[in-house]
């Protein structure tokens, strides 16, 4: 399942029953536009196993600041409400999917 992560709903998703993957991105970011479709595809493939969220850092900069995100795209991986992994930069589907698998 792919959801939109905002400052208002972040905590509820982070502390939900399923692991959470958060793609921090911005509309002006070229590498984000490359990674975005991969994240959306993986969200469909892992539906029911984890929640995948997209967080626009221009609209929700508090989330990026709270986790020390200085570069985008950054993908944050949460399990049981805790940050367990972080990936910065663009990558191919296989590389990102390994991170998804490790979260399960």
Residues assigned a catalytic role:
29, 32
In sequence order, the β-bridge partners of residue 74 are 24, 88
In sequence order, the β-bridge partners of residue 77 are 21, 85
Q: Rounded to an integer, what distance in angstroms lies between the CA atom of residue 15 and that of residue 68?
A: 20
Size (the chain), residues: 104
């Amino acid at each position: 399942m792919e959801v939109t992560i905002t400052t208002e709903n972040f905590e509820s998703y982070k502390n939900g029953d399923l692991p959470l993957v958060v793609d921090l991105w911005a509309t002006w970011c070229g590498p984000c536009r490359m990674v975005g479709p991969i994240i959306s595809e993986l969200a469909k493939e892992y539906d029911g196993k984890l929640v995948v969220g997209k967080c626009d850092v221009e609209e929700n900069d508090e989330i990026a600041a709270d986790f020390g995100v200085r570069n985008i795209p950054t993908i944050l991986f949460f399990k049981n409400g805790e940050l367990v992994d972080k990936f910065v930069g663009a990558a191919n589907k296989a590389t990102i999917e390994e991170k998804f698998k490790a979260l399960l």
